Structure 1
Amino acid sequence: MSPYRRAISLAAENAGCDRAGSAIVRGVTFSLAPGEGMQLFGPNGSGKSSLLSMFAGLVRPVEGALSWRIDGEAAAAAPEASLFFLGHDASVKPALTAEENLRFWAKASGGGDVGAALAAVDAVSFRHLRAGRLSAGQRRRVDLARALFGDREVWLLDEPTAAVDREGAKIIRKLIDDHLARGGIAIVATHDDLGDGFKRLELAR
């Protein structure tokens, strides 16, 4: 595995965000250096998805600040091309096969090895099936394979193992571990315990 081209870090200082005009998360403080991951804990409705949207630049902090650094230099935000955001809803197109979906995303990201991406998420056996016929867990794995295109150093993952079986969860965890080993950063909202290798941010409702 070759390292990422850029070293990107993220820090938050007393950051907060709202949802639908109401305060939901306040006082978030942490720092992530290249190669580090953080797990967001908390019950449903505690603001995990809202925080990920804030980190992705989809909503602005209502207080505090986010600080990005790229190769040691301060940046207003991580470049859009460096971000991979996996939300609740799968981005695969039901009428396309798993392979066609990944070919579309590879082209949109400037190129990538579709065969390697299919193999990385153990999707080779169903690559010719339309996504609408796949199980929810299979679609989730194909969706996550999009992160392998475009050399994206920052992964923001919202419940990546939702509807995924135990073997699929192992595959997804390996993808995240490999990403961190290349010097990426990852923020993962999940109810699964990712272990001591991840920083923890627990939210209360």
Structure 2
Amino acid sequence: MNEMSFLLQVRDLAVARGGFPVLSGLSFAVAPGQALVLRGPNGSGKTTVLRCLAGLQAPLAGEVLCAPDAVAYAAHADGLKATLTALENLRFWAGIYGIDDGEAAVARALGAFELDGLQSRLAGNLSAGQKRRLGLARLLVTGRPLWVLDEPTVSLDAASVALFATAVRAHLARGGAAVMATHIDLGLDAEVLDVSDLRATAAGLTLGSGFDGGFDEAFL
């Protein structure tokens, strides 16, 4: 496949967390219509890799090649505005991203995650699972082709996991792509990349100005 056909290319990536190298030598590419699942034990560097893909921290080495404004990133936190309704939260994000069919996209997002009956409820009054569904519904109003997701099914029951998997399949069918860290079998035709064997050592790696011990942003 021609390199220009990929939505994302990662070449010999090394990353640090809290000032310590955690992973090195990671290379992969993701094309339109493709999903990639990162696997590995806690602390193996999956979240740090996803933060680098989203542009939230610089790598120690290697490069991430991706078109500007291509990534929609969702981390562990739902990142909702508690005093806004479910509908208002999605309208807010649609406005931030400035997509052409904002209201139509909001309606589709509500339907895709079965939030129609909750659209007038304050986000702060939703259950943990409902908040998670609303947080994931934001992906559908970004207009961005590459979804980067960190444990997206946290707090979801089996029915809601199925809704999420359906949303991912639809995104891939439209030519989008997804890179996600998850231990849940979503029933997707996805490549699995285990990062367990890529644990970094400090030897030969110099900490750059891009690393920090910071926080996991909820959404980008």
Length-normalised TM-score, structure 2: 0.81
For 2:82 and 2:6, locate their aligned partners in 1 and report how far apart those are by CA, in whole Å.
34
Q: Deviations over 1:162-187 (max 9, x none)?
A: 00011100000111111111111110
Letter in 1 for 2:43: G
Letter in 2 for 1:106: A
The correspondence of residues 119-138 of structure 1 with structure 2, limited to 5 A, is 119-138=111-130
For 2:46 and 2:130, locate their aligned partners in 1 and report how far apart those are by CA, in whole Å.
24
Summarize the Cα distance change of 1:108–1:65 in structure 2 as closer, same or farther, 3 Å threshold: closer
> Which residue of 149, 152, 163 maps to 1:171?
163
Match of 1:90 in 2: 78
Structure 1: stretches of 5+ with no match in the other structure: 1-5, 69-77
Match of 1:190 in 2: 182
For 2:37 and 2:131, locate their aligned partners in 1 and report how far apart those are by CA, in whole Å.
23
For 1:108 and 1:64, locate their aligned partners in 2 and report how far apart those are by CA, in whole Å.
31
Q: Deviations over 1:84-107 (max 9, x none)?
A: 100111111111111111111111
| Secondary structure of the corresponding residue to residue 167 of structure 1 | helix
| Secondary structure of the corresponding residue to residue 7 of structure 2 | strand
Paired-residue identity, %: 41
For 1:154 and 1:20, locate their aligned partners in 2 and report how far apart those are by CA, in whole Å.
26
Q: Which has the higher strand share?
A: 1
> Which residue of 140, 145, 163 maps to 1:148?
140
Match of 2:207 in 1: none
Structure 2: stretches of 5+ with no match in the other structure: 200-220
Q: Which moved more, 1:148-157 or 1:107-116?
A: 107-116
| Secondary structure of the corresponding residue to residue 51 of structure 1 | helix
Letter in 1 for 2:16: D
Letter in 2 for 1:107: G
**Root-mean-square deviation (Å):** 1.7
For 1:150 and 1:197, locate their aligned partners in 2 and report how far apart those are by CA, in whole Å.
23
Deviation at 1:194, TM superposition (A): 3.7
Match of 2:38 in 1: 40
> In the comparison of the two structures, how many residue pairs are matched?
190
For 1:164 and 1:186, locate their aligned partners in 2 and report how far apart those are by CA, in whole Å.
19
Contact 1:8 1:154 in 2 (8 A): no
Contact 2:72 2:142 in 1 (8 A): no
For 1:124 and 1:193, locate their aligned partners in 2 and report how far apart those are by CA, in whole Å.
27
Match of 2:92 in 1: 104
For 1:154 and 1:180, locate their aligned partners in 2 and report how far apart those are by CA, in whole Å.
9
Match of 1:72 in 2: none
Deviation at 1:196, TM superposition (A): 6.5
Contact 2:165 2:188 in 1 (8 A): no
Match of 1:203 in 2: 195
Deviation at 1:201, TM superposition (A): 1.3
Length-normalised TM-score, structure 1: 0.87
Letter in 2 for 1:149: V
The answer as to 2:17 corresponding to 1:19 is yes
Match of 1:79 in 2: 68
Deviation at 1:133, TM superposition (A): 1.1
The answer as to 2:58 corresponding to 1:60 is yes
Q: Which moved more, 1:105-114 or 1:139-148?
A: 105-114
For 2:118 and 2:140, locate their aligned partners in 1 and report how far apart those are by CA, in whole Å.
18
